Structure 1
Amino acid sequence: MELLELEISTSRLLLQTISMKYQEDIFKEFNQEITTYMYTKPPKHISETEDFINNSLSEIKKGENLVLVILNNNSFKFLGCTGIHQINSNQPELGIWLKKSAHGKGYGLETIIALKTWAEENLDFQYLVYCADKANIPSRRIPEKLGGKIIREYKKTNLSGRVLNILEYAIPKAG
């Protein structure tokens, strides 16, 4: 399967392999507010975003991770990024972030359902992992709506120095 040219469509969204075409959008939208509940921190310079994209493309080529941009499938406007990390493991991890103006519209759940469906059709795994900070209720609703159960809780200090209270969910394969 050619992951560098992957496209996954839903009724409202188009997920496609990350590219330099979106560096300005990612740099602008991946800010301090968006990263509050994430391990990483926002880039200070666009070169950091370019490095992220280049590293993502390298990991995709190696078949280790899948990193996609989330676009509105009518306007092709950038909405955020998503991915599956450790795609060849028994427990691949799903991840997502949406720009602030895309919050509260159901795009997160729609994206993760599309990724889960793609993973079930293309990967061999035991279950999918989804991590969310205990205080990030909208993010926690995503795995919970997909039948995810908390399998682990732990604290982790993010790169901005904030202590996160992580809930790790296991999302089962469809019935």
Structure 2
Amino acid sequence: MILRNNVEIISEQVILRVFTEYDAEEAFEAITPNLAKFMSWEPPKDLYDFEKVWRAWADHLKKGSEIVFAVRDRKNNEFLGLVGLHRILIDPRIGVWIKEKRHSQGYGTAAVQALMEWASLELEIDQFTYLVADENIASQKIVIALGGIKNGYTLCSKYNAQIYKIIYPATRVCA
């Protein structure tokens, strides 16, 4: 699968752009220990460590297996967080985080909604997996608001997670 490195997705609330080196400093500064406790990875120690991470994202993009977007506020271009579509070729999995000072403002839901809409239209993906740490109530609210159905549990290295499936758009289920 060929994924373009210049994808831009514009919704009413957010703009998603494929992550580039120009997003790295803002993203790194937004990663906090409190935020990372619900992530499968440990926060990078410094920008050099983070560079290894985002360069791996670029490699996965070239292989067509993953795409990570910087999430920005449509009104003022403020960096808000990241949303990604991982394991595209196997079992498309959504991951999202929004910086702490912008939690509970609808940005996570808007980012995931925009990503699913794009992936449905451009990549013809109609089913997504979304893992949520048991304690991450905010992410549970996002996935439920988007029609996610709990489909199981798994043990991750840092937390126990609920597995949700999202069919998008929901009307395709019976088509």
C-alpha distance in structure 2 between counterparts of 1:2 and 1:146, whole Å:
25
Indicate conservation of the 8 Å contact 1:59/1:66, yes or no: yes
State whether structure 2 residue 87 is matched by structure 1 residue 86: yes
- Aligned ranges 1:33-72 → 2 under 5 Å: 33-72=34-73
Secondary structure in 2 matching 1:44: coil
Deviation at 1:77? Answer: 1.3
Secondary structure in 2 matching 1:87: coil
Deviation at 1:88? Answer: 2.5
C-alpha distance in structure 1 between counterparts of 2:157 and 2:64, whole Å:
28
- Aligned ranges 1:4-153 → 2 under 5 Å: 4-89=5-90, 91-125=91-125, 127-153=127-153
Counterpart position of 2:154: 154
Deviation at 1:125? Answer: 3.7
Indicate conservation of the 8 Å contact 1:82/1:95, yes or no: yes
C-alpha distance in structure 2 between counterparts of 1:56 and 1:18, whole Å:
8
C-alpha distance in structure 2 between counterparts of 1:11 and 1:43, whole Å:
32
Deviation at 1:165? Answer: 1.5
Q: Identify if the C-alpha distance between structure 1 residues 62 and 93 changes in structure 2 by more than 3 Å, giving closer, same or farther.
A: same
Q: State the Cα deviation string for residues 18-56 of structure 1 (Å, max 9, x = none).
A: 011111111111121111111111111111111111111
C-alpha distance in structure 2 between counterparts of 1:92 and 1:31, whole Å:
26
C-alpha distance in structure 1 between counterparts of 2:122 and 2:134, whole Å:
30
RMSD of Structure 2 on Structure 1 (CA): 1.4
Aligned length: 169
Aligned amino acid, residue 162 of structure 2: L
C-alpha distance in structure 1 between counterparts of 2:44 and 2:62, whole Å:
24
Which stretches of structure 1, 4 residues or longer, exceed 4 Å deviation after superposition? none
User: Which blocks of at least 5 consecutive residues in structure 2 are unaligned?
Assistant: none
User: Which blocks of at least 5 consecutive residues in structure 1 are unaligned?
Assistant: 159-163
Secondary structure in 1 matching 2:33: coil
Q: State the Cα deviation string for residues 37-82 of structure 1 (Å, max 9, x = none).
A: 1111111111111111111111111111010000112221111011
Aligned amino acid, residue 155 of structure 1: L
C-alpha distance in structure 2 between counterparts of 1:106 and 1:76, whole Å:
16
Match of 1:169 among 158, 164, 167: 164
Aligned amino acid, residue 66 of structure 2: N
